[in-house]
Structure 1
Amino acid sequence: MKALVLREMCSLNQCPTPLELVDLPVPHPQAGEILIRVAACGICHTELDEIEGRTSPPQFPVVPGHEVVGYVEQLGAGVTVHQLGDRVGVGWIHSSSGDEHENVSPQFQATGRDVNGGYAEYMTAPANYAYPIPDCFRSAEAAPLLCAGAIGYRAVRLTGIQDGQTLGLTGFGGSAHLVLQMVRHQFPNTRVFVFARHPEVQQFALELGAAWAGHTEDRAPEPLDAIIDTTPAWKPVVEGLANLAPGGRLVINAIRKEESDKEALLKLSYHEHLWMEREIKTVANITQFDIREFLPLAAEIPIRPEVATYSLDQANQALVELKQGRIKGAKVLVMEK
């Protein structure tokens, strides 16, 4: 099978082709696993964190990719929850303890980091961590729902927001553009304010229903009850705190933050940014329950991901574009026509 492998960590600024296209044997599903013929796999910022060493794989080479949609090709021993030909999805959580706190369990294993993922024509996954994909989504549309959408769902829950309260979204890429659609459905009286660097991204947010869109360093027209930060940088954390109302909560939805602008934290003022019972909370991974709850909700709304598709041999190009901040919606590798 064709697959992309990461053989070592490197900086995309110095190495724009970190992934190598190779031929690998088709994996065999073990007991409790399924073999998936991959149709599409989303490209997530976490792949950049893996490549550049912020959340490094425990061993090399590894096949990245954790927003996977495909078809059940083979059943391992004991599997009864799926049938051959079923279309299923796999997210960042490959396996864990199985309880409600499995996202922070020492048993947590990540798809495409701790085990081979979906930048390939085939992959295996535990049957209990593969989820039915609603028929209303094309495979390329469904791929970002497995991580960007489901982790956005978790982030919204962690804000504790109520209908009518104000919400900010800092960064408007693969996750935030799905969150905006979800919030408009779940909390119809909530106004959403978007912070993004590029004018075209701000315009995209307004087209999707944002009440206001401005630059990362701008101040919203009113204090915000909650903000979700999906960026890899530190400046949006400081600026986000300055936009919070008293008692507001900033939820940081990122696996890792980059070091390039860490000096922005030196501008943190206790009185301006943290006082008045403002909070910071982080999103740690994802559970199977987040994905199982989110996918039917996404179909009910229905959420419509904005996707740009790439072939397997274009993955490095897509990753460089992601690194450069050239994002409108989500980027997806497509294996089927």
Structure 2
Amino acid sequence: MRAMVLHQPGQPLVAEERPDPTPGPGEVRIRVLACAVCRTDLHLVDGELPPGGLPRIPGHEIVGCIDMLGPGAEGLRLGQRVGVAWLGHNCGMCESCCSGRENLCDQAGFTGYTRDGGYATHIVAEARHCYPLDHLAWPPERIAPLMCAGLIGWRAYKFAGPARRLGLYGFGAAAHLLIQVARAQGREVYAFTRPGDEASQAHARELGACWAGGSDEAPPQPLDAAILFAPVGSLVPTALAAVRKGGRVVCGGIHMSDIPGFPYRLLWGERQLMSVANLTRQDGHEFLALIRRIPVQADVQLYPLEDANRALDDLRAGRVRGAAVLKP
């Protein structure tokens, strides 16, 4: 198989030829049709996350077809199209798993981080952590961003609660999907971008934002909730200042720069600050069922697999409208 491999944080991925992997017990091998590029991949490549084992093939927003079943792999069939997301393994026995919070499992495995991911022509995944996609006839490149930007974004969206006025800080892959869900559910969306990023602000307005501006601007009226997708800790007090009393700020990323000190009055008034960690399979099944009713359209920029470094550079520089997607 062909793969783009991370050997050292801070260094470009290396194109390699490797033997095709063989699935173990309970696993399947998948021929990758598309893999979206996530900001988490960028955090890994840039060394902002502790290495999950190197060398490593990144990528966890995967759509592909099963071409080999391992012993005991149940519920799936050869040739079936499936999705693979960030959570690739959980123990099923710890307190977190047994209480419906498998996203917090201490023994969890993560696709493209502790397990090889989808920047490749093939991947091995646990059958129980694959999402059947039989009900979606969309092209694989349109589905791939849903497997993280959509799924983990959905968990953040649920945590935001029944907000009528919702702020989205960082208008990239996740926000451009969630705004479509929010607008379909009758919510007002306020989009915050990098200061001066008029292209992203225009994109937000095209998708139904009632207001779009820089993250250094205050919204025209208090928000009921805000979700931070931008990994910028200084936006936490900014978002707290933007939500009303009793409002909620949800941090949706796996990494964020340090949060600066801020006056207690920004949290006072029963405002809430919380984070989202990973996702559960239930989140995934909920979101994939939801998009049958709300046909979320992912805006994508396509790259050949061998151009993974260019895709990461474009994401780092803010040159991606919507989501970047690799196609082997």
Alignment of 1:239-318 (within 5 A): 239-258=238-257, 262=258, 265-266=260-261, 268-271=262-265, 273-318=266-311
* Corresponding residue number in structure 2 for 1:144: 145
* Corresponding residue number in structure 2 for 1:121: 121
After TM superposition, give the deviation of residue 55 of structure 1 in Å.
2.0
Structure 2: gaps of 5 or more residues: none
* SS of structure 1 residue aligned to 2:226: strand
After TM superposition, give the deviation of residue 183 of structure 1 in Å.
1.3
The CA deviation string for residues 205-260 of structure 1, in whole angstroms up to 9 with x for no partner, is 000011111110111111001000001112222211110101100000010113xx
* SS of structure 2 residue aligned to 1:30: coil
After TM superposition, give the deviation of residue 56 of structure 1 in Å.
2.6
CA distance in 1, matches of 2:27, 2:151: 22
* Corresponding residue number in structure 2 for 1:194: 191
* Corresponding residue number in structure 2 for 1:132: 132
Q: 1:39 aligns with which of 33, 37, 51?
A: 33
Superposed CA RMSD in Å reads 1.3
CA distance in 2, matches of 1:119, 1:235: 32
* SS of structure 2 residue aligned to 1:265: coil
After TM superposition, give the deviation of residue 53 of structure 1 in Å.
2.3
Letter in 1 for 2:171: F
Alignment of 1:48-197 (within 5 A): 48-98=42-92, 99=97, 100-133=100-133, 134-162=135-163, 165-185=164-184, 187-188=185-186, 190-197=187-194
After TM superposition, give the deviation of residue 269 of structure 1 in Å.
2.2
CA distance in 2, matches of 1:321, 1:235: 23
Please give the TM-score of this superposition, normalised by the length of structure 1.
0.92
Q: Is the 8 A contact 1:9 1:56 kept in 2?
A: no
The alignment of Structure 1 onto Structure 2 pairs a total of residues equal to 319
After TM superposition, give the deviation of residue 136 of structure 1 in Å.
3.0
CA distance in 2, matches of 1:67, 1:3: 15
* Corresponding residue number in structure 1 for 2:314: 321
* Corresponding residue number in structure 1 for 2:2: 2
Q: Percent identity between the aligned chains?
A: 41
CA distance in 2, matches of 1:138, 1:52: 30
* SS of structure 2 residue aligned to 1:148: coil
Q: Is the 8 A contact 2:182 2:188 kept in 1?
A: no
CA distance in 2, matches of 1:326, 1:240: 24
Letter in 1 for 2:212: A
Letter in 2 for 1:255: I
CA distance in 1, matches of 2:292, 2:36: 18
* SS of structure 2 residue aligned to 1:107: coil
* SS of structure 1 residue aligned to 2:287: helix
Letter in 2 for 1:95: H
* Corresponding residue number in structure 1 for 2:15: 21
Give 4+ residue runs of structure 1 displaced > 3 Å after superposition: none
* Corresponding residue number in structure 1 for 2:24: 30
CA distance in 2, matches of 1:143, 1:289: 18
After TM superposition, give the deviation of residue 68 of structure 1 in Å.
0.5
After TM superposition, give the deviation of residue 80 of structure 1 in Å.
2.7
After TM superposition, give the deviation of residue 279 of structure 1 in Å.
1.0
Q: Is the 8 A contact 2:301 2:320 kept in 1?
A: no
Q: Is the 8 A contact 1:41 1:332 kept in 2?
A: yes
The CA deviation string for residues 293-334 of structure 1, in whole angstroms up to 9 with x for no partner, is 111212321000000010011110110111112231000001
After TM superposition, give the deviation of residue 159 of structure 1 in Å.
1.1
* Corresponding residue number in structure 1 for 2:229: 230
The CA deviation string for residues 273-297 of structure 1, in whole angstroms up to 9 with x for no partner, is 2121111010001111111111121
Please give the TM-score of this superposition, normalised by the length of structure 2.
0.94
CA distance in 1, matches of 2:227, 2:39: 16
CA distance in 1, matches of 2:128, 2:183: 31
CA distance in 2, matches of 1:180, 1:226: 14
Q: Which stretch has the larger CA shift, 60-69 or 72-81?
A: 72-81
CA distance in 2, matches of 1:57, 1:296: 34
CA distance in 1, matches of 2:235, 2:144: 27
* Corresponding residue number in structure 1 for 2:218: 219
* SS of structure 1 residue aligned to 2:290: helix
Q: Is the 8 A contact 2:167 2:225 kept in 1?
A: yes
Letter in 1 for 2:65: Y
